Amino acid sequence: MKKKTAIIFGVTGQDGYYLVKLLLKKNYIVHGIKRRSSSVPTYRITNFLKQKNFTIHYGDLTDTSSIHSLINMIKPDEIYNLAAQSHVGVSFFTPLFTANVNAIGVLAILEAIRLSPKKIKFYQASTSEMFGKTKSKFQSEKTIFNPQSPYGTAKVFAHLITQNYRDAYKIFASNGILFNHESPFRGDNFVTKKIISSLTKIRYGKQRQLVLGNLYSKRDWGHASDYVEAIHKILQQKKPSDYVIATGKEYTIKKFVEKTAKKLKLKLYWSGNGMKEHASDENGRIIIKVSKIYFRPLEVDYLKGDASKARKVLKWRPKINLDRLIDEMIEYEKSLLFNSKK
């Protein structure tokens, strides 16, 4: 049986790592695309570079010619677009760059697929941030989008243009609306990574304080390895469609902090309200506080996904709960702290 060939845009990120691992296990030939100027370290995929079925190429979603050249040269069966300016807060400071990568870059891939003589399946990584301020208790594929950031807005364009090309040109193009998903390989600028890294360092005397923004934002957190399995399943279906991928359980940032602290045997004593809310340790030293600089211009207070369609059609269910996820992330941070290596 002929091996499938896949392209992964955004291969150096958290999801790229887990997807490469999964596809190689399934005997794919995998081509990873990274920007030459990318600030994202490649340590996550270093071990894959020795494998004969994995190749890294340089490419950029803001360079249409490079996208067309790569797709024409590789002639993939499947394309997974995980590439993005992926930090919501940063998108307020770099809105044009965010739009070029997260929106126009997706259109460039779709155009290359449309013009290719080969039938190529396409996966677009959508996001729960597209829902923004919502009154729905659960967000599903039918929930109206109301993004509250340049990041979320650009992702809505990418989501809709993927649907448009699917309908207009009969391309196998599917969106996965992934809610927050974490792992030991989460980027340093994400709040879960920041919480676990900082509290681990505080526990072992390597850091004095953790500063956060909105403690009461609620998020639906899953494990990246589970979500990548769903991503692959989406492109194995007979017909293209869109799917919410989520656990259906939500927790506040504060609850995530408390769970992490408890596992690290750090006792927290909360006091104050609003911007003056803080947590002290058993010696009375303030180790967690709130700052305005970590609040977004527009906050998204509540996100919780309804993955009923994915459960029914994809036969997908998350395997790793939040407690196990936090355990994994803590152990990884400890290994970094005591081995000083990634």
Averaged over successive runs of 10 residues, the pLDDT of the chain (342 residues) comes to 94 95 97 76 76 93 94 97 91 95 97 97 98 94 97 98 98 98 93 97 96 96 98 98 98 98 97 96 96 90 96 98 98 90 46
Q: Are 155 and 206 in contact (CB under 8 A)?
A: no
Q: Round to whole Å and give the CA distance between 263 and 213.
A: 22
Kind and range of the H or E element at 176? strand 173-178
Q: Round to whole Å and give the CA distance between 72 and 95.
A: 30
What does the pLDDT read at residue 342? 44
What does the pLDDT read at residue 35? 85
What does the pLDDT read at residue 189? 85
The domain limits of the chain are 5-183+220-248+301-320, 191-216+252-300+330-339
What does the pLDDT read at residue 74? 97
Kindly state the DSSP code that residue 130 receives in the 8-state scheme.
G
Q: How far is CA 163 from CA 46, 72, 264, 335, in A?
A: 34, 23, 45, 43
Q: What is the CATH number of domain 191-216+252-300+330-339?
A: 3.90.25.10
Rg (CA), the chain: 20
Q: Round to whole Å and give the CA distance between 331 and 333.
A: 5
Beta bridge partners of 125: 176
What does the pLDDT read at residue 2? 86
What is the second-level CATH architecture of the domain 5-183+220-248+301-320? 3-Layer(aba) Sandwich (3.40)
Per DSSP bridges, beta strands 210-212 and 121-127 are: unpaired
What does the pLDDT read at residue 137? 93
Q: Round to whole Å and give the CA distance between 19 and 28.
A: 11
The set of catalytic residues is 127, 129, 151
* pTM listed for this prediction: 0.94
Instruction: Assign 21 to helix, strand or coil.
Output: helix
